[in-house]
Chain A
Amino acid sequence: MESIIGVLNYGAFFAITAGIYAILCLGLNIQWGYTGLFNIGIAGFYAVGAYTSALLCGPPPGPLDWRTVGGLGLPFPVGVLGAILMCGIVALFIGFISLRLKEDYLAIATIGIAEVIRLILKNESWLTNSVWGLKHIPPPLHSPIQRGISGFLSANPDASVAVKALISKSYNWFYLGLVLGIVAILYWVSERSIRSPWGRVLRAIREDETVVSAAGKNVFRFKMQSFVLGSMIMGMAGSLYAHYAMFIDANSFEPLYGTFLVWVMLIAGGSGNSKGAILGAFIIWGIWAGTDFMSGYLALSAIRVASLRIITIAILLELVLLLRPSGLLGEEKFVSKMMGKSKRGG
C-alpha cells in the first residue's frame, strides 16, 4: 500500500513538471508549429518568467543576499501576470529587430538573447543574486493547505500510514491541479486561435509569407503577435516553475532543459497540433525521468550517465524525424473550423 502511495506521490511530482513543459510546448507550438518562427531561446523566456515572478512575490533581500532589489511579496497572480508581461516586452523587442528580416535571423536573435539573459542571471548580482539564486519563493496558498494537513493529521491520529502519506503531500496535488488547469485553459486558447482566420494567416505565413503579403496582409504584424503570444505563454511556465521549486538559479534554465527538451517534445508530439504538444511533453518527460531511474542499474559514473541520457533523447529525436516526421499527432487536415464543419461541402 505504502509503495502505491509512494508511486502516486511521485506521479504528482512528475506530472507537475510535465505539465509545466506542456505549457512551454504550447507556447512553442504557436510560434513554430503554427507560424514557422524558429525560436531557439526558449530557456531565456522561461527564465525571464521565473525571475520576474520570483522577484515580485519573493521575500526582500536578506543579510546574506547580494541582490538589492525585488522581494515585493506580492500575491502569486501578480507574479504570473508580471511574468507574462515581461516576456511579452522582451519578445516585442527581439521581434522588432529580427522579425522583418529573413527567418534565420530570428533564430540567431533568440539564441543570442537567451545567452544574454543567462549571463545576466549569473553576473548581475544586484538583480538576480548571481549564482546564489533566488530563495524562498512562496508557493501559492501553501500555508492554508499546510494548516489543513496538520489539522487533519492531529484530528485523525489513528489514520493509516498510507492515508497519512497521501494527505501530507496534498500540496503537490493542489499544485498539480493548478498546473493542469492552466494547461487546459491554454489548450483551449490555442485551439480557438488556430482554428480562426487569425490562425489561418499564421499557417499561411509558415507555408509562404509572400502569398500572405500579396493578399494585403501585414506579415510582420501577424508574426509579432504569434511570437509575443508564444513567449508570454513560456513566461507563464517560468512563473509556475519558480513557485513550485521555491528556489531558482541560472542552472535551472540551461539550454538542455529549457530549450532542447521542449523542441524534442513538440516535434515528437506533433508540431502544429495542440494535443500533440501536450502529449509530447508528457511522453518525453516520461522517458527523460525514466532514464534517470534506470541509471541506478548501470555501472557507470554519473557524468557518463548524464551524457547517455542526452544521446538517448537525441537518437529518439532522429528516429521520430525519420519514421514519423510529423510527430505522433501531426497537424490536422481541416484546421479552420469557424465556418461550421458540415458546410465544408464534404
Chain B
Amino acid sequence: MLKIEDLHKSFGGVRAVNRCSLKVKQGSITGLIGPNGAGKTTLFNLITGFYRPDRGAIWFLRDRIDGLPPHRVARRAIARTFQIPRELKEMTVLENMMLIPPAQKGEKVWNSFFRPAQVRRQEREIMEEALRVLEFVELIRLRNEYAQSLSSGQKKLLELARTLMSDPKMILLDEPGAGVNPTLMKKLIRNIQELRQQGKTFFLIEHDMDLIMNLCDRVIVMDKGRHLADGSPSDIKKDERVLEAYLGGK
C-alpha cells in the first residue's frame, strides 16, 4: 500500500533520513520503532508532505505522493496524528471533530448565503458522524468542552478520533500510547484493532514495546535514518542488530 524507495532528508549536516526504503502492507498494523533520533517522525513528516524529501520516492496505492503539499497528501485518504497532541484549544471537542471531513459544502463561504439548506443538512450529517465517533472513543460526555481542558490521554484519543472523521485508508499514528494511562491504553488498542477489522491500515511509531507486541503484526526498525530490519514482533525481539542499535553495542 505504502512504498518508500531510497528516501533522503537532511537538515543542515544531519542526515535525518538516509537511504530509507520500506513497505507497509494493506490492512496491516505496522509498527515503526528505533532509538531516539532514528528519523521516525521525520519519515512521517515526509510521507504526509510536511517535509519535502531531498531524494527518493514515496508511493501510495500506485501514485507517487512525495513532494505534494500536506493537504494534497491528506486528500489521498492518509490521516495522521501528532506526537504532541495538536488539539484546537479554544474550540469545542465537537468542533475539533467537525472541522475534519473533506470538501464540506459550507467551506465555500457563498454556499452559506445562497444554499443554506444544503449546508445545514450536511452540517447535521457531519455532527451525527462526529457524535458517533466520539461515542466510539468514549469522549462523548466531553463534546461541548474546550479541547484544551482535556487530559493528555484524552487529547491522544481526540487525535485518533479526528483521523476517523475523514474516512482514511491509512492512518499514521505518532506515539499514540505516550502519556496514556493503562486503562485508556487498553481502550486505544481495542479501538485500533476494531478499526483494522473495518479495513483501515495503520502505521505507527511507538516506544512502548508492550503496545508494539500486542498490537502490530509487522514491525519495522529504523536506525540512523535507514531501514534496519523488519519482521514479526517476536522475530524483531530476537534480532541482534536491533538489540545492538538499542543497547548501543559494538
Contact = CB atoms under 8 A, between A and B. Distances in A.
B122 to A, nearest CB: 8
B92 interface: yes
A216 B112 contact: no
B88 A197 contact: no
Given A203-B88, A214-B48, A336-B123, 6 more contacts: A192-B113, A203-B90, A210-B82, A217-B102, A335-B91, A344-B143
B146 interface: yes
B74 interface: yes
Contacts of A200: 91, 95, 98-99
Interface in A331-346: 331, 333-336, 338-340, 343-346
A229 B108 CA distance: 13
Given A193-B112, A211-B86, A216-B74, A343 B124 contact: yes
B75 interface: yes
Contact of B71 (A213, A331, A345): A213
B69 A216 contact: no
Nearest to A219: B71
A197 B74 contact: no
B88 A207 contact: yes
Contacts of A333: 92, 144, 146
A254 B50 CA distance: 41
B30 interface: no
Contacts of B91: 200, 203-204, 207, 335
Given A200-B98, A208-B88, A216 B75 contact: yes
Interface of A: 189, 192-193, 196-198, 200-201, 203-204, 207-208, 210-219, 225, 229, 331, 333-336, 338-340, 343-346
A215 B74 contact: yes
Given A197-B119, A198-B109, A215 B124 contact: no
Given A207-B88, A338-B106, A197 B146 contact: no
Contact of A346 (B50, B144, B146): B144
Which 10 A/B pairs are nearest by Cβ-Cβ distance? A197-B106, A216-B74, A196-B112, A339-B123, A207-B88, A213-B70, A198-B109, A339-B127, A216-B75, A338-B123
B100 interface: yes
B249 to A, nearest CB: 38
Contact of A211 (B88, B107, B120, B131): B88
A340 B126 CA distance: 12
A288 B165 CA distance: 49
A218 B124 contact: no
Contact of A196 (B100, B106, B144): B106
B102 A216 contact: yes
Contacts of A210: 50, 70, 82, 86
A215 B120 contact: no
A92 to B, nearest CB: 16
A324 to B, nearest CB: 16
Contact of A338 (B102, B116, B146): B116
A208 B143 CA distance: 19
Interface string B117-152: 001100110110001000000000001101000000
B64 interface: no
A333 B224 CA distance: 46
B104 interface: yes
B79 interface: yes
Nearest to A222: B107
B99 A212 contact: yes
B107 A217 contact: yes
B220 interface: no
Given A192-B113, A200-B98, A214 B74 contact: yes
B75 A345 contact: no
B71 A218 contact: yes
B90 A331 contact: yes
B71 A198 contact: no
B65 interface: no
Interface in B61-104: 69-72, 74-75, 79-80, 82, 86, 88-92, 94-95, 98-100, 102, 104
A45 B118 CA distance: 35
Nearest to A202: B109
10 contacts: A198-B108, A200-B98, A207-B91, A215-B99, A215-B100, A219-B71, A334-B144, A339-B120, A339-B124, A344-B94
Nearest to B75: A216
A216 B94 contact: no
B113 to A, nearest CB: 6
The interface centre, meaning the residue of B75, B86, B123, B126 with most chain A CB atoms within 10 A of its CB, is B123
A205 to B, nearest CB: 10
A203 to B, nearest CB: 6
B154 interface: no
B107 A214 contact: no
B86 A208 contact: yes
